[in-house]
Amino acid sequence: MSVLKSFFKDTIIYGLATVLPRLMNFILVPLHTDTLDTTSYSDNTYFYVYAAFFNVLLTYGMETAFFRFFSKQKEQDKVYSTTLISLLVTTIVVFGIVMFFNQPLAEVVNLRLDYFNYLIGVLVLDTLVVAPFAYLRATGKPIKFTLIKLSNIFIYVALNFFFLWAIPEFNIEFLGYDKSDLVKYIFIANLAASAVTIILLLPYFLKTKWVFDKEIFKQMLNYGLPIMIAGLAYVINENFDKWLIPDVLGKDINGAYAGCYKLAVFMTIFIQAFRLGAEPFFFNHAKEKNAKNTYALIMKYFVICGVLMLLFIVGFIDIFKSLIVRDETYWVAIEIVPIVLLANLFLGIYFNLAIWYKLTDKTRFGMYISIIGAIVTITLNIIFLPKYGFMAAAWTTLIAYFIMMMTSYVLGQKHYKVPYQISRIVLYIGIAIGLAYCSFEYLRGIHFYNITLILTFIAFIALLEKNELKELLRRI
């Protein structure tokens, strides 16, 4: 099997592990926005902002460190068992401390005590399965990985419909059911799904030989801690606006903003699917003769797919908003969608570029770049959000990711030069931005014209890339 064929195969399978759960979540957005008012939806968003933040802390970069050391260490079982033991021990210790001080900690993060307890339960269970899931990816078992991921989301979605729709619709008697506090049942559904997932992954806890190698752990920790700090900065970049808006503009505005933010879900799916397939691929093929040329090729077609997705979503945004966010009270924030889509495309390019500091073991640069992005995010939001409202938050996200992308490119070309086709990439992004602007501002709802724009752009790309595409298809 060719290198590119292997990459595409894994990315497609991992894509299913990302796309199908996201599509199921896609089904949940109308359910949540129909049953929760914007204030309650803001509480739901707030919960998962903290979940993202604490998840990075609890994993402390060990997932990426695992891929790096698993691919280059001869004793791979030791790398896995060391990762498993370290995450297990730290998670249990943190759980004990946090639950002992849960009341004051819940007040610090401004969450109700029961919400906070659900949050900690979900975080603990999700952290414990990080190593087994990473092991499945590293050992080339994407189908098993996908099936377990899908079982998790199926349980989560099914319980959401049971609690938020079936019980009220059919007047089902359920012990302690509280119609005035529906949002907590979303958290309960998440906790149940996470519990089932860890049961399904139990064989990967039990069948391995439990060996903790201190030397491997030290190396992984040195590699992973900068990744953790970069991850925390990323969470700030992605969620600081949703954390700040409730206090500055109100929970109702935050709910509308977060609801419309979901319309960028397809770009997020694409980026996550790419990361799941690309990260182990990049590490495993780093020693190949033409590795850098392969990375450059992947980057170009990543951008092509991304800009086409941007155009498609913007061109049919009114259809998507009617399907995903049906409550019109949420639509006040619809103008953020094109900006957020472009911001996420820049983020995806940054993730693609980031391979240079991971392959050269210079992960501190990833930390520095992410910190720069976080500083931009915090500063611009604090200055402009009170004056210009939620649009300032969307533009801030775009600016932060653009700066991170450009910084990573400049540094990467000095430390690990990859021959990216910059002129083509800039051309495609520039044309896509212009077409998306025309589509959103002047062609809203005129589907014939939007289809024509997209097809014309595809034909233009095919014309420029026809020779390379023929060669790729022959190799695949």
pTM above 0.85, yes or no: no
How many structural domains comprise the chain?
Answer: 1
Does the pLDDT at position 5 exceed 70? no
Alpha-carbon distance of 221 to 61, in angstroms, equals 8
pLDDT for 1 equals 45
**Band of pLDDT at residue 217, cut at 50, 70 and 90:** very high
**Residue with structure tokens 């990361």?**
275
Domain limits for position 281: 3-475
Q: In the prediction, which pLDDT does 87 show?
A: 95
State yes or no: pLDDT of 453 exceeds 90.
yes
Q: Which of 50-64, 225-239, 422-436, 442-456 bottoms out in mean pLDDT, i.e. has the lowest?
A: 225-239
CA separation (Å) from 471 to 12, 65, 305, 320, 475? 20, 35, 18, 36, 6
254-264 residues labelled b (16+ CB within 10 A) or e (exposed) = bbbbbbbbbbb
Q: Say if residue 462's pLDDT is above 80.
A: yes
pLDDT > 70 in the chain, percent: 91
Q: Would the pLDDT of 476 be above 60?
A: no
* 446 or 10, greater pLDDT: 446
The mean pLDDT value for 367-394 works out to: 93
339 or 327, higher pLDDT: 339
Name the amino acid, one letter, at 220: M
Position 388 confidence tier, pLDDT thresholds 50, 70, 90: very high
Token output for 289: 């003769």
Where does the pLDDT of residue 119 fall: very low under 50, low under 70, confident under 90, or very high at 90 and above?
Answer: very high
pLDDT digits (tens, 9 = 90+) for 334-378: 999 999 999 999 999 998 888 888 888 787 888 889 899 999 999
Q: How far apart are CA 96 and CA 194, in angstroms?
A: 19
Residue-wise pLDDT tens digits, 163-216: 999 999 888 888 889 888 899 999 999 999 999 999 999 999 987 788 999 999
Give me the pLDDT at residue 399, please.
96
Taking residues 235-253, what's their average pLDDT? 88
Backbone angles phi, psi at 139, to 5 degrees: -95, 10
Looking up tokens 């233009």, which residue turns up? 460
Given a cut of 80, is residue 283 above it in pLDDT? no
Closest Cα to residue 148, out of 132, 161, 160? 132
